[in-house]
Amino acid sequence: MTKQREFSWPVRVYYEDTDVAGVVFYANYLKFYERGRTEWLRSLGWEQDVLIDKGLAFAVAHVDAKYLRPARFNDKLVVKTRISSVRKASVIFEQEIYRVDENSDESDDNKQQLVNKATIRVACVDMDTMTPAPMPNYLQEEIAREWC
């Protein structure tokens, strides 16, 4: 089996992301994952607002997250995104967040510590009915060709 392609997006932990103890508030990991998926889609040449104008949107349908270590105020993180499955109306993402050593870059895997991982199913929905809708064939084919 070949290794799946991976998309990485850097994130810095701001004060607003943390609780009173300076630790990332648990729900904010979902925001980091959202940024990773949005930037991944953008890297394919697709903007979500353009899809919305066409009457389609992506909505999170299921999340299974594991909190392994705390990320803290001012940590340098990287969100890694892979696709595990593409269906007619949904995509399943495997995402991980790593703390990156301040003196290294995001590409040095030896200087990274896994802090959170999640499996996230995102459904394509019709904006008028807010019900599942098939992804446009060209987008589904591009995702499957390039990422699976």
pLDDT single digits (tens) 32-45: 999 999 999 898 88
Amino acid 60: pLDDT: 97
Confidence of residue 99 (pLDDT cuts 50, 70, 90): very high
Is 1 domain-assigned?
Answer: no
CATH number at 62 reads: 3.10.129.10
* pTM assigned to the model: 0.88
Confidence of residue 138 (pLDDT cuts 50, 70, 90): confident
Amino acid 103: pLDDT: 72
Question: Would you please indicate which residues are annotated as catalytic (active-site) residues?
Answer: 19
> What is the domain extent for residue 49?
7-147
Token reading at 83: 């696709």
Number of domains into which the chain is organized = 1
Is 2 domain-assigned?
Answer: no
Over the range 111-137, which residues count as b (16 or more CB within 10 Å of their CB) and which as e?
ebeebbbbebbbbbbeeeeeeebebee
